Structure 1
Amino acid sequence: MILPKSNRLTPAQLAEVTAIVEPFGCGLQPIVGAVRTIYAIVGDERDELMITRIEGLDYIERVDRIQSPHKLMDRRSDLASHRITLGSVTLGEELLVIAGQCTIDPKNPNFLYETAHAVKEAGANALRGGVWKPRTNPYSFQGDVKSLDILMEAHRRTGLPVDAEVMDETQLHLALDAGVHMLQVGARNALNYSLLRAIGRAVADRKTIVLLKRGLHMGPISEFISAAEYIVSFGNPNVLLCPRGTAPALDGYRNHPDESITPLLKEKTWAPVVVDPSHSVGKASYVPACALAAVAYGADGLCIEAHVQPSKGIGDDPKQALTPEVLGETIRQARQLWTLRQPVKTS
């Protein structure tokens, strides 16, 4: 990983460094961070002669060699200084709350419009809404592209940035063309490396954020982080890691709640952690406690399902969506707890 002395390399400098690495079978991938651009060496970076030639350039500060399967996501990476901002919230400086419906009902768009206003009033910073839905049963409602227009109209009415799950490249490009601010990769696609690459390429030159959920089946922490590396390696470091419960389910819960992995993630990666308590436990009455537990473990944000009238929702909303009143109280308590967990500043 190459760190220039200035914010970024000039075109002439980039061409010079590229000419150095190419004879060694390597290439360069710029990663545009909030503070400066760093340059990942794509390929085997162990050749001492190549490194020596790069370090000898007067405009290079240093070359870091991180021996890790996810060297960009590694907390020792220079990307550790990168900050991700969604709307008015910078992750790490304030608790991010994403809230909204599991599934947008294209026949009843007012439910989403009302929900959007309600979650904003409750204190949420962003709106989630399921446009397309992964379903085990092929005859269940799979979502509708018309819902994408409804989601973007909710954004225009409230000003809230929006989050939508995509499951293939067609949905990916439709969402980006519509102006979706955050792309969600669901648990079933968390290890779909072809989709992760496609997303990485599509958002490389954008500020779009990707919310990557943990795979449905319990796997190593490094596997989760490496999945994020697929996206970041194309140049956009705006990735959030989202524990959301795993299989097999814990008796009584929808999944096996995994918010406790947050400290383990933070030991290995700089990426912010945004926990989904709704899918973890799968029952509205359990969600507030799970959300607070996630914050206690150090989560940077929450992704919570909410609906103005859960019983009239579709998808998972009737069983696990919070009402606006409960959401508001959960957010209030979560932010109090988040504040308590911050280090005391000394003058």
Structure 2
Amino acid sequence: MSTPTAAALWIGTYPKADTEPGTGEGIWRVGIGPDGKFAGGELVAQVPSPSFLALHPSGRTLLAVGEAGPGRLTSFHVSDAGTLTLAATATSGGSGPCHVVATDSAAWVANYGDGVAAAVPLADDGALGEPRTFPHEGTGPVADRQEGSHAHFVHVWGDRVLVSDLGTDELRTYPLDGSGADGEPSGTVAAVLPPGTGPRHLVELADGTILVAGELDCRLHVLVPAGPGRLEHVGSVAITARTTPDGAAGYPRTSPSPATWCTWACAARTSSRCSGSTTRPRRRRASTTPCRAPSGTWSSRTSPTSTSVRAPGRATTRSWPTAASWWWPHSSPTS
């Protein structure tokens, strides 16, 4: 199977504030020229709350999770010209899916709402099968965020996957092929992080070291291999010296400043957008830029030399000077 010839960035959006999913949001495509500059931007598929996207390794299938109550997973065929054609839809296996990663034969989904990790069979033509689900139970000390399991991120880890559980302060692990769902409903706990960490996105270094961004404690945690399927927590460092009004670490979740985006970008090279006191922070894409104090204003233009974070359901972007984009090129299998 050939790879599409047109390089592109794929961008997922949320619905506008105070509107229901399916009221205008969807997947946007921004072209990338031979010189690396962005070219145009168009809505190529209307789908409810596509909060995270992932590309199949072939480059021919784009996946989107629909972050709603009963979660949905949608697959699209990617043409040579970069257009999307609906291929299939399936349940995500849980509620409020917030992350998806594609392997050769499956789409792994993290369902934040009920903590279920799910492996959805994925065919070369984009067809989706019934999900194999991996529920989990547990709580953490942060009552308003850790009242139960909250699967937040999936990482391919050799012949297994790691699942960050914000609600239980754990990294769970399952076979990459999704086997063992019946006999291994809760999987294996690969690592336990300090209480109140709220593990979110992570990256794996070449030597096997794992860096985990703590959403709740605003710390970057370091874990090292400790035997087959096990990781040992060896330390952490504060992501920011800023505090909330009550003196706790990090920034208020109800009113993030532009610097918050930069701070989160430093932690395992990810970023998030917080939205309201009654909703959890929403995920955004990977970055490879060093942290720096942001500058700039709300702008309807996207500079080739600036990072731009699209406001959900809005036509404006937040921009500041940097050397890379939050959004991943379609030639990459990760988001």
Tell me which protein shows more strand as a share of its residues: 2
Taking structure 1 as the reference length, the TM-score comes to: 0.30
Q: Which has the higher contact order (CA 8 A, sep 6+)?
A: 1
Structure number, greater radius of gyration = 1
